[in-house]
Amino acid sequence: MRSPDRLQAVEWLTKARGAGDWPAVLEALGAGPMVALGVDPAAVADVGRESRETLESLCAGSTDPVAAAERWSRSELELRLGCFEKWLTEHVHRRALAGSFLREMRAASYLPEAGAFLNIRELFGLVDAVRDMRATLDVPLNRGLALEALFRRLAPAGSGRGRGQG
């Protein structure tokens, strides 16, 4: 059985729950409408938007990974990690469709061109690390430190904030 398309899911959620930012909720959750049925649409949409903005600014080197990790570890961590995983997966998918990974197949964890933030090996490594963190949310763990390590991997190669520098 295939999932409903985005428009059908939004229409169904609107009928079932009333008005809400259902497209943003589905974007944040990356799931079908049944998962979205039990959430507060405004809160999920806000967390999803803020999560994507944080990830983009981390890639640009304009956000401090320590501050972002601390902020994420204090609220809605499971949802934020879901947004992180979805954002990474979409990044992989978009770049694979564009064929940009073909010139990036190398063992090194850096890229020679400015503006590119990770090669395919790093992207898949990050997806795995985010999934591992999601799977261990119920164990005692310094979540801020674990997030900081993930966020530092997003920082541009030359920035003082990335790769354990500064």
Per-residue three-class SS string for the chain: CCCCCHHHHHHHHHHHHCCCCHHHHHHHHCCCHHHHCCCCHHHHHHHHHHHHHHHHHHHHCCCCHHHHHHHHHHCCHHHHHHHHHHHHHHHHHHHHHHCCCHHHCCCCCCCCCCCCCCCHHHHHHHHHHHHHHHHCCCCCCCHHHHHHHHHHCCCCCCCCCCCCCC
User: Could you tell me which residue, 30 or 28, shows the higher pLDDT?
Assistant: 28
Domain range for 44: 40-152
User: What's the mean per-residue pLDDT of the chain?
Assistant: 81
Query: What is the reported pLDDT for 30?
Result: 78
- 12 belongs to a structural domain: no
**Residue 3 belongs to some domain of the structure:** no
Counting residues of the chain whose pLDDT is more than 70, the rounded percentage is: 81
Please check the confidence at residue 115 and state whether its pLDDT lies above 50.
Answer: no
Q: Is 113 inside any structural domain?
A: yes
More confident residue, 124 or 102: 124
- pLDDT tens figures, 51-72: 999 999 998 889 999 999 999 9
pLDDT for the residue numbered 97: 76
Q: Is residue 86 part of a domain?
A: yes
pLDDT-derived band at 45 (thresholds 50, 70, 90) equals very high
Q: Is 52 a domain residue?
A: yes
Which has the higher per-residue pLDDT, 131 or 121? 131
Domain count within the chain: 1
Dihedrals phi, psi of 144, to nearest 5 degrees: -60, -45
Q: What is the pLDDT of residues 85-111, one digit of tens each?
A: 999 988 888 877 776 655 544 545 544
Q: What are the tokens at 19?
A: 């008005």
Whether 4 is covered by a domain: the verdict is no
31 occurs within a structural domain: no
**Top-confidence residue, 29 or 104:** 29
Q: What confidence score (pLDDT) does residue 54 get? A: 94
- The C-alpha angle 120, 123, 126, rounded to 5 degrees, equals 150
